[in-house]
């Protein structure tokens, strides 16, 4: 196990975060604050409570999940795409570093960043609304699981993409819509029966539902199912990453 | 002594169907500087990339200090530093950060003293906190060398180290490569500047069309293949070579004003004295004469042409 390499990649990637502190942390925090002001305070004050909590409080887990999802994908994809684009990947490929170590370094750094971001958003949210966390352990577990899974997804995207456009298009056309329609802003029980069924095909529903359960004890889908679906997603991503390194897909000629 | 790198039957066919290497066998001796010469597309970079683990071979075997690059890749790669041809750098990082990163990547614990010595050796010390993007091309090249040396490798691959580097800097780089060799590092460099190989290499390998055409010690190669030319400036131009001189390999140039005699340095008797006497006997007078040794470049061109 090349621990020095894992550390080198991890530190290097996190250094990128500190360097682009404003974009990576301040940006999402500010935009989340805007959501709270608009949906939580302004519009939300006219809503009745959802599933027994105020709409503002209901929003908190969904918004955290949404930022964590999108930022995990974009951070991790950028982290591995950048060296491919600039050509510096030669060094990684020629180093005594295994696929597993590479993934721990890159995905670990991206996930760490997402967890920091999620925590910051929670703290920011506290300024706007009052909320409680019923199951802190599960809250942290869901946050970590989601960060890792979507950082893996981002890693895959960063290897698959062969242009900046592709790198942007997946988050824009797939991740963001899934996050919006995944129950971040509403309970899926508010949807007509047909759309409730359709929405069950959206993996984000399970993440948001499970995460919200850890706050308020109520969920759209059983929490065990949420956990199972998140784990399944994680396994799928791991399998794809394993395949990428085994075949050298887009990495080695 | 066992060669530090042994390559046997190495083949590479790219997905496009292009066969870059067609069965390369090569031994690289410990502590030498081997210059790999070859025209563009000869397979130089492919060969290096396979040894370094960036490209997968289609067939064949490579061992680095006894470690198979497939089975024992970690040990093999730990010994190698690679300076790529392209100036690919982490633009937004400081010189210090990017070089330290490389050391970690190759599995070595942080050692600021080593990084400091490398940066000082490469005259990069005063730039250690500068972002790589702010450096000149020559400095970026040196940053790449520093990265490759950061984990103290015993083998260094330099893929066209002086491409696009000005004359003065090129000299400096040659000196640095010489110092590295003196410290015991085996160096493999590719180049198409013959001058570079002639100046630095202990051995020269010529690669063309995916095959190693020859590997030879530089001095032996020069001696073996080196032809000398004797050029005589004639007082009166000749229309043709006189029949009496037909035994000598002579050619006329410059509209008959120059007589060129080609001889082999290997032979004990060059035949120059005999030729000059015969010229005098036939009343052919000359105003000037000079001899000239063929350069590695000429040797190289003729080798590649022979093979083509």
Distance of CA A221 to the CA centre of its chain: 20
For B5-223, CATH number out of 3.40.50.300, 3.90.550.10, 1.10.1370.30, 3.40.50.720 equals 3.40.50.300
Is B53 in the A-facing interface, judged by CB distances under 8 Å? yes
Residue A102's nearest CA partner among A173, A161, A156 is A156
Lowest mean pLDDT among A89-93, B21-25, B300-304: B300-304
pLDDT of residue A197: 85
> Is the model's pLDDT at B308 over the cut of 60?
no
Inter-chain touch A96–B103, beta carbons under 8 Å: no
Higher confidence at residue B270 or residue A224? A224
Residue B238's nearest CA partner among B222, B218, B259 is B259
The per-residue pLDDT for range B117-145, each reduced to its tens digit, is 999 988 899 999 999 999 988 889 899 99
Query: Count of CB contacts below 8 A, A vs B?
Result: 83
Q: Between β-strands B59-64 and B5-13, what pairing exists: parallel, antiparallel or unpaired?
A: antiparallel
**C-alpha dihedral, B167 to B172 to B173 to B174, nearest 10°:** 90
Closest chain A residue to B90, measured at CA: A88
Query: Which of A89, A91, A106, A249 is best to mutate for the B interface (most B CBs within 10 A)?
Result: A91
The per-residue pLDDT for range B289-306, each reduced to its tens digit, is 888 776 666 777 777 676
Query: Which of B57, B105, B156 is best to mutate for the A interface (most A CBs within 10 A)?
Result: B105
Q: For residues A103 and A106, what is the distance between their CA atoms, to the nearest angstrom?
A: 5
- Which residues from chain A sit within 8 angstroms of residue B91, using beta carbons? 86
Residue A69's nearest CA partner among A205, A200, A243, A219 is A205
Beta carbons within 10 angstroms of residue B61's beta carbon: 14
pLDDT band at B224 (very low <50, low <70, confident <90, very high): low
pLDDT of residue B9: 94
**Distance to chain B for A253, nearest Cα, Å:** 5
**Distance to chain A for B199, nearest Cα, Å:** 29
- The token pair that represents A32 in the structure block: 């989340």
List, in sequence order, every residue forming a beta bridge with B234; answer none if it has no partner: B286
Q: Is A85 exposed, middle or buried (0-12, 13-18, 19+ CB in 10 A)?
A: middle
Q: Rounded to the nearest 5°, which phi and psi values hold at B227?
A: -110, 145
Q: What string of H, E and C letters represents the secondary structure of B186-244?
A: EEEEEECCHHHHHHHCCEEEEEECCEEEEEEEHHHHHHHHCEEEEEEEECCCCCCCCHH
* Contact predicate B13/B23, CB 8 Å: no
pLDDT of residue B128: 93
The kind and range of the H/E element at B259 are strand B258-264
Inter-chain touch B82–A94, beta carbons under 8 Å: yes
* Contact predicate B204/B37, CB 8 Å: yes
What is the mean pLDDT of the segment spanning A81-95? Answer: 91
**Distance to chain A for B112, nearest Cα, Å:** 14
Is A251 in the B-facing interface, judged by CB distances under 8 Å? no
pLDDT of residue B72: 93
What is the mean pLDDT of the segment spanning A179-191? Answer: 84
What residue spans define the domains of chain A?
A: 3-247
pLDDT band at A25 (very low <50, low <70, confident <90, very high): confident
pLDDT of residue B225: 65
What is the mean pLDDT of the segment spanning B192-197? Answer: 77
Q: For residues A61 and A142, what is the distance between their CA atoms, to the nearest angstrom?
A: 11
DSSP for B270-282, written as a single string:
--HHHHHHHHHHT
pLDDT of residue B106: 95
Whole-complex ipTM: 0.85
Share of chain B above pLDDT 90, in %: 45
pLDDT of residue A91: 93
The per-residue pLDDT for range B203-223, each reduced to its tens digit, is 999 888 899 988 888 888 777
Residues in chain A: 253
> Is the model's pLDDT at B266 over the cut of 70?
no
pLDDT of residue A138: 94
Inter-chain touch B92–A19, beta carbons under 8 Å: yes
Residue B237's nearest CA partner among B201, B203, B285 is B285
What is the mean pLDDT of the segment spanning A18-23? Answer: 78
Q: Give the SS3 label for residue B292.
A: strand
- The token pair that represents B200 in the structure block: 């630095």
The kind and range of the H/E element at B252 are strand B250-253
Share of chain A above pLDDT 70, in %: 99
Q: For residues B251 and B258, what is the distance between their CA atoms, to the nearest angstrom?
A: 8
Higher confidence at residue B110 or residue A127? B110
> Could you give the C-alpha distances from B19 to A230, B24, B25, in angstroms and in order?
45, 12, 16
Is A87 in the B-facing interface, judged by CB distances under 8 Å? yes
The per-residue pLDDT for range A225-247, each reduced to its tens digit, is 999 999 999 999 999 998 888 88
Is B74 in the A-facing interface, judged by CB distances under 8 Å? yes
The kind and range of the H/E element at B149 are helix B137-149
> Is the model's pLDDT at B82 over the cut of 90?
yes
The chain-wide mean pLDDT, for chain A, equals 88
Q: What string of H, E and C letters represents the secondary structure of chain A?
A: CCHHHHHHHHHHHHHHHHHCHHHHHHHHHHHHHHHHHHHHHHHHHHCCCECCECHHHHHHHHHHHHHHHHHHHHHHHHHHHHHHHHCCHHHHHHCCCCHHHHHHHHHHHHHHHHHHHHHHHHHHHHHHCCCCCCCHHHHHHHHHHHHHHHHHHHHHHHHHCCCHHHHHHHHHHHHHHHHHHHHHCCCHHHCCHHHHHHHCCCHHHHHHHHHHHHHHCCCCCCHHHHHHHHHHHHHHHHHHHHHHHHHCCCCCC
The per-residue pLDDT for range A131-166, each reduced to its tens digit, is 889 999 999 999 999 999 999 999 999 999 888 888
List, in sequence order, every residue forming a beta bridge with B205; answer none if it has no partner: B36, B215
List, in sequence order, every residue forming a beta bridge with B262; answer none if it has no partner: B229
pLDDT of residue B130: 93
> Is the model's pLDDT at B307 over the cut of 70?
no
Share of chain B above pLDDT 70, in %: 94
For B228-293, CATH number out of 1.20.58, 3.40.1620, 3.30.70, 3.40.1350 equals 3.30.70
Inter-chain touch B147–A87, beta carbons under 8 Å: no
Is B52 in the A-facing interface, judged by CB distances under 8 Å? yes
What residue spans define the domains of chain B?
A: 5-223, 228-293
């Amino acid at each position: 196990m090349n621990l020095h390499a894992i550390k080198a990649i991890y530190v290097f990637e996190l250094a990128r975060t500190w360097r682009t502190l404003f974009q990576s942390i301040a940006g999402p925090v500010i935009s989340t604050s805007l959501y709270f002001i608009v949906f939580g305070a302004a519009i939300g004050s006219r809503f009745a409570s959802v599933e027994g909590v105020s709409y503002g409080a209901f929003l908190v887990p969904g918004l955290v999940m949404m930022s964590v999802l999108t930022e995990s994908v974009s951070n991790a994809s950028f982290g591995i795409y950048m060296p491919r684009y600039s050509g510096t990947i030669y060094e990684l490929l020629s180093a005594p570093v295994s696929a597993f170590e590479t993934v721990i370094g890159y995905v670990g750094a991206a996930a760490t960043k997402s967890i920091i971001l999620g925590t910051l958003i929670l703290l920011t949210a506290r300024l706007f609304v009052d909320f409680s966390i019923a199951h802190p352990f599960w809250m942290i577990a869901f946050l970590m699981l989601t960060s890792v899974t979507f950082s893996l997804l981002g890693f895959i995207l960063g290897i698959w993409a062969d242009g900046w456009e592709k790198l942007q298009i997946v988050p824009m056309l797939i991740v963001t819509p899934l996050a919006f329609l995944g129950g971040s802003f509403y309970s899926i029980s508010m949807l007509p029966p047909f759309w409730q069924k359709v929405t069950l095909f959206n993996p984000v529903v399970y993440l948001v539902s499970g995460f919200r359960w850890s706050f308020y004890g109520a969920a759209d889908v059983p929490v065990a199912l949420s956990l199972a679906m998140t784990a399944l997603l994680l396994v799928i991503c791991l399998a794809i990453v394993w395949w990428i390194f085994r075949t050298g897909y887009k990495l080695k000629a | 002594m066992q060669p530090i790198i042994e390559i046997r039957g190495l083949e590479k066919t790219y997905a496009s169907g292009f066969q870059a290497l067609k069965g390369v066998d090569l031994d690289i001796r410990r502590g030498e500087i081997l210059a790999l010469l070859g025209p563009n597309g000869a397979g130089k970079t492919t060969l290096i990339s396979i040894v370094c683990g960036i490209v997968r071979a289609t067939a064949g075997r490579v061992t680095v200090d006894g470690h198979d690059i497939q089975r024992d890749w970690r040990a093999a790669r730990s010994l190698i530093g690679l300076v790529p041809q392209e100036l690919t750098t982490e633009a937004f990082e400081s010189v210090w950060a990017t070089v330290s990163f490389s050391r970690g990547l190759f599995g070595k614990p942080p050692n600021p003293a080593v990084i400091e010595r490398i940066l000082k050796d490469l005259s990069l010390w005063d730039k250690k906190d500068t972002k790589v993007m702010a450096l000149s091309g020559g400095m970026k090249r040196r940053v790449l060398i520093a990265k490759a040396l950061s984990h103290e490798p015993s083998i260094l691959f330099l893929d066209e180290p002086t491409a696009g580097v000005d004359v003065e800097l090129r000299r400096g780089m040659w000196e640095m490569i010489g110092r590295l060799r003196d410290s015991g590092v085996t160096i493999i460099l590719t180049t198409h500047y013959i001058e570079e190989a002639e100046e630095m290499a202990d051995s020269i390998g010529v690669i063309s069309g995916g095959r190693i055409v020859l590997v030879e010690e530089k001095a032996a190669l020069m001696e073996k293949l080196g032809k000398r030319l004797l050029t005589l400036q004639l007082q009166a131009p000749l229309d043709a070579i006189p029949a009496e001189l037909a035994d000598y390999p002579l050619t006329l140039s410059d509209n008959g004003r120059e007589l060129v005699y080609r001889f082999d340095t290997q032979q004990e008797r060059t035949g120059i004295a005999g030729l000059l006497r015969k010229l005098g006997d036939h009343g052919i007078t000359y105003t000037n004469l000079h001899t000239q040794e063929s350069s590695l470049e000429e040797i190289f061109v003729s080798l590649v042409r022979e093979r083509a």
